[in-house]
Amino acid sequence: MAAAALGILVLTSSGGNGDAAPADVAVVEPAPSPAATGEALAQLGIDTAGEEVTVDAEFGERVRAYLLENPEVIFEAVAVFEQRNADAQADMSRELLEANADELFNDGHSWVGGNPEGDITLVEFVDYRCGFCQRALDEVLAVVEADPGVRLIMKEFPILGPESELSSRFAISVLNLGGPDAYAAVHYALLRHDGAITPEFLGDLATEQDLDFEAVSAEMESEAVTQVIAENRALAQRLQISGTPTFVMEDEMIRGFVEAEDLLELAASLRE
């Protein structure tokens, strides 16, 4: 009966609406004001007094000659531009993290591992069908093992289809019924599983944790589990998170896969 019910759930789950955006996205920036444009052009020796913009020919030739002789300047300018954008993004992320700190670090429904009293909190938004989340598992475990001061929080964030949501519903239900140790066991098993997520597979996992699969199946369809996923998705939207894995360590956000060494270095720098 439980397997049949879960089979229906696989077919009907929405999978969420948080699909990761493509790596390269065209962004339309607001146009600068005419006054600001005129001032900037004037500083470059460009006359904007008339209706048509004219460029001092001699100045233009000098700029062209300089760039041809020193093309590396173009790359330096691009690097500075990208760094400024990255700094602006980091500042905005910190503001968003501060505004949503309570939901991030003390939501009352997410699994907490590592050292619950640790001085550094690492949060991961995870999808069990995400290949980079699967790769990140060993990195995260290495961080917790190497740094006893790290508190680890898992945010169930299924965005990759019905099997993702089925997996998250199962994991949350196991946490609710079996406690944190049972959750940890199925969390690792789900991330290490290469095959399809089927009711039979989930039934075996529940049995391994001495849980009644009928009870777990009923919990998976409960309003409580639905609410956890909805709250995590809403939090991700507020934080402008659209992909997995996404990590938050205190007031720093890292989008995508990251190695343990980098996380440990970040934790050390945050303690300074």
Helix (H) / strand (E) element for 253: namely strand 252-255
Does residue 51 fall inside a structural domain?
A: yes
**Residue 11 in domain:** no
Report the alpha-carbon distance of residue 176 to residue 228 in Å, rounded. 11
> Are 227 and 267 found together in one domain?
yes
Closest among 262, 270, 272 to 142, alpha carbons compared: 262
Q: Is the dihedral of CA 29, 255, 194, 183 positive or negative?
A: negative
Q: How far apart are the first and last CA of the chain?
A: 55
Q: CA-based Rg of the chain, rounded to a whole angstrom?
A: 25
**Same-domain check for residues 264 and 191:** yes
Q: Are residues 180 and 266 in the same domain?
A: yes
> 180 and 62 in one domain?
no
From first to last of the 272 residues of the chain, give the pLDDT tens digit.
Answer: 555 455 545 444 443 333 434 333 233 344 445 555 555 555 555 555 555 656 678 888 888 888 888 888 788 878 777 777 666 666 667 899 999 999 999 999 999 999 999 999 999 999 999 999 999 999 999 999 999 999 999 999 999 999 999 999 999 999 999 999 999 999 999 999 999 999 999 999 999 889 999 999 999 999 999 999 999 999 999 999 999 999 999 999 999 999 999 999 999 999 99
Q: Examine residue 148 and say whether the peptide bond preceding it is cis (omega within 30 degrees of 0).
A: no
Q: Note whether 56 and 148 are same-domain residues.
A: no
Dihedral, CA of residue 2, residue 169, residue 112 and residue 109, to nearest 10: -100
Both 115 and 177 in one domain: the answer is yes
- Compute the distance between CA of residue 272 and CA of residue 119 in angstroms, rounded to an integer: 12
Which whole-number Å values give the CA distances from 95 to 34, 58, 109, 232, 238, in the listed order? 31, 47, 24, 18, 11
199, 96: one domain: no
pLDDT at 66: 84
pLDDT at position 233: 98
pLDDT attached to residue 118:
97
Task: Count up the domains in the chain and report the number.
Answer: 2
- Contacts of residue 151, Cβ cutoff 8 Å, sequence gap at least 6: 112, 113, 114, 115, 116, 117, 118, 120, 121, 122
Q: Are residues 196 and 234 in the same domain?
A: yes
- Please give the pLDDT value at position 14: 40
At which of 100, 130, 157 does a domain end?
A: 100
Q: Which of 239, 199, 270, 209 is nearest to 97 (CA)?
A: 239
Q: Are 237 and 251 in the same domain? A: yes
Phi/psi at 253 (5° precision):
-115, 135
| 167 closest CA partner among 139, 192, 142, 143 | 192
Domain end marker among 100, 126, 155: 100
Domain contains 18? no
pLDDT for residue 21: 42
Mark 82-99 as b/e (b = at least 16 C-beta within 10 Å): eeeeeeeeeeebeebbee
pLDDT for 10 equals 46
- Residue 233, number of CB atoms within 10 A of its CB: 20
Same-domain pairing of 85 and 195: no
Both 90 and 120 in one domain: the answer is no
Question: Is 21 within the bounds of a domain?
Answer: no
**Rounded Cα–Cα distance for residues 176 and 216 (Å):** 9
Residue 31: what pLDDT?
45
Q: What is the pLDDT of residue 216?
A: 96
Where among 49, 69, 100 does a domain terminate? Answer: 100
Residue at 234 is within a domain: yes
Q: How far apart are CA 10 and CA 166, in angstroms?
A: 6
Instruction: State the residue range of the domain holding 229.
Output: 102-271
Instruction: Indicate the pTM of the whole model.
Output: 0.70
Q: CA-CA distances (angstroms) from residue 69 to 56, 66, 73, 74, 76?
A: 20, 5, 10, 11, 14
The CATH number that applies at residue 210 is 3.40.30.10
Q: Is residue 9 part of a domain?
A: no
